[in-house]
Amino acid sequence: MSVNIDKEKFDKFEAVRKSGKYNMYDKTARYETDLTEKEWLTIMKDYGKLKDAWSTNDNNNNGDK
């Protein structure tokens, strides 16, 4: 069964990642969102593809890679 990751879910993950508060493999990081464990693991596994799909040029990420 595949897990659907929409932009809203990806953005929740990105907010935690960009905060820099957590190692993203730490379960505590996921608790900062309402994402399920399966959703979190899917984003971790497919991060590059999802970032390409959901990132936009208008969100002022100058140099943030």
Question: Using one digit for the tens of pLDDT, what is the confidence trace for 9-48?
Answer: 999 999 999 999 999 999 999 999 999 999 999 999 999 9
H-helix segments, 1-65 = 7-19, 27-30, 37-45, 47-54
8 A C-beta contact, residue 10 and residue 33: no
pTM of the prediction? 0.79
Q: Report whether 43 contacts 6 (CB < 8 A).
A: no
Q: Where are the domains of the chain?
A: 7-54
